[in-house]
Amino acid sequence: MKPYKAVQALLVHNPEENRYEFAGSCFRLWSDNHFLTARHCVHAMAAKDIAVLNCLGGAGPEDELIRCVAVSQHPTADLAVIETKGMVPDSFEKFKLSDRDYGLGTPVHCFGILDEWMASQDSERGHGRVIGGIIQRDLLWRDGPFVSMALEYSAPIPKGMSGGPAFYARQPDTVLGMAIGTITSSIVVSEYRDYKNDQTHEIEKISEITRYGVILRLFPYQKRLQDNIPSR
């Protein structure tokens, strides 16, 4: 399994500049023409303004775009399924959906498209990034209008990887989740207070910032996926 052949860039149309812009990552399960992505990447977008970029290249600019014809957004979770039209290149690969839920401490890899690669379109370098970590805990992740059954990941999720797959380190063809965000927490490690006339005059705090990734659990949403993604 080669993640760069199974994960594609998600694009949305900017009508003011009449061009497609990078919005995140996406991947497939069992259907040739259905891609999973994070709902926040396509939220409020019409299907006609969404496309999947063939990162492996095509014969021309139009061949590089796989057009979206429908989008199904989960009512609460940060999960969306987009349906495309036309032939998807045979070189694209698909993930298997894990038949079991997470385990604490499980080694997991995430893969997604690099935002800087999209900006430069540097074909000489890889277009994706792999990050490694473990599952630390489960949580109900609230982010704006989205409420998702999720997992805390020991590594932060870089920009551009939202919508990309989280798969087992020892089973790279089997996906258990999808990257959707990052938790930022801070703790004060030292503090200095200056007093004048028995009153606080100046305060200086030094904080330690820690960042963790957030992965949407796909196992609890299996029925939703099966209802929205036709089988072969």
Ranges for all domains in the chain classified under CATH 2.40.10.10: 3-93, 96-186+211-224
Asked whether residue 59 carries a pLDDT value surpassing 50, the answer given is no
Q: What's the pLDDT score for residue 3?
A: 75
Give the pLDDT confidence of 209-230 residue by residue, as tens digits: 678 999 999 999 999 999 989 8
pLDDT at 205 over 60: yes
From residue 210, alpha-carbon distances to 11, 112, 187 in Å are: 30, 22, 9
pLDDT in tens, 132-190: 999 999 999 999 899 999 999 999 988 888 999 999 999 999 999 999 998 876 566 56
Query: 96-186+211-224 domain in CATH 2.40.10.10?
Result: yes
Specify whether the CB–CB gap between 114 and 177 falls below 8 A: no
Q: List pLDDT tens digits, range 20-38.
A: 888 999 999 999 999 999 9
Provide the 3-class DSSP secondary structure of residue 69: strand
d(CA 110, CA 177): 9
Per-residue pLDDT for 48 more than 90? yes
Residue carrying the six token digits 């900006």: 119
Nearest-angstrom CA–CA distance, 85 and 97? 23
pLDDT tens digits for range 74-95:
999 999 999 998 788 888 899 9
DSSP secondary structure string for all residues of 140-197: EEEETTEEEEEEEESS---TT-TT-EEEETTEEEEEEEEEEEEEEEEEEEEEEEEEET
Q: Which of the two residues, 49 and 55, has the higher pLDDT score?
A: 49
d(CA 53, CA 76) in angstroms, rounded, equals 27
CATH among 3.90.180.10, 3.40.80.10, 3.40.640.10, 2.40.10.10 for 3-93: 2.40.10.10
Q: Sorting pLDDT into bands at 50, 70 and 90, what band is 55?
A: confident
pTM recorded for the entire structure: 0.83
